[in-house]
A = this chain, B = another copy of it.
Amino acid sequence: MDCYEIMKRITTHRGVKQLVVINKDGLLLKTFPAESDELDESQIQSLHELAGAARRMVRDVDPTDDLMFLRVCSKTDEILVSPDMAFTVVVFQENHDKHAATA
C-alpha cells in the first residue's frame, strides 16, 4: 500500500475533514480528499509557522529533544500535525470532545 493509499484511508476515518501534505518550505503538495476546499497560502503559512514554533520550543527546553507530534484543539476542530524532515502531514478532524469548548 503506497502512501497515497494510506492518506486516502485516513480521510475515510470518522470526523476527518481533510488531510494536507506540506513540504519543508511550506508549500502545499497534496490535499485529500482532492475535491475538498484547498487551504490558501496564508493558512498553509500559519501551519508551517506553527510547526516551526513547536520545534523551536521543544529544542529550547531540551536541545537533545525533538518534536514528534502536535495536536491543536479549537472550539470545533482538532488539527493533528505530524512533522518530518521533508514533509509535514496535517489532518483536520472534528473535535470529538466538544465539551472542552464549553469548559
**Chain A residues engaging chain B, CB cutoff 8 angstroms:** 39, 42-43, 46-47, 49-50, 52-54, 56-58, 60-62, 65-77, 79, 92, 95, 100-101
> In the bound complex, do residue A68 and residue B62 qualify as a contact, i.e. CB atoms below 8 Å apart?
no
B-chain residues with CB within 8 Å of residue A66 when the two chains form the complex = 74-75
> In the bound complex, do residue B46 and residue A50 qualify as a contact, i.e. CB atoms below 8 Å apart?
no
Residue pairs across A and B with Cβ atoms less than 8 A apart, 23 shown, are: A43-B57, A46-B60, A46-B61, A49-B53, A50-B50, A50-B53, A50-B57, A53-B53, A61-B79, A62-B74, A62-B77, A65-B74, A65-B75, A67-B72, A67-B73, A68-B73, A68-B100, A68-B101, A69-B72, A69-B100, A70-B70, A70-B72, A71-B73
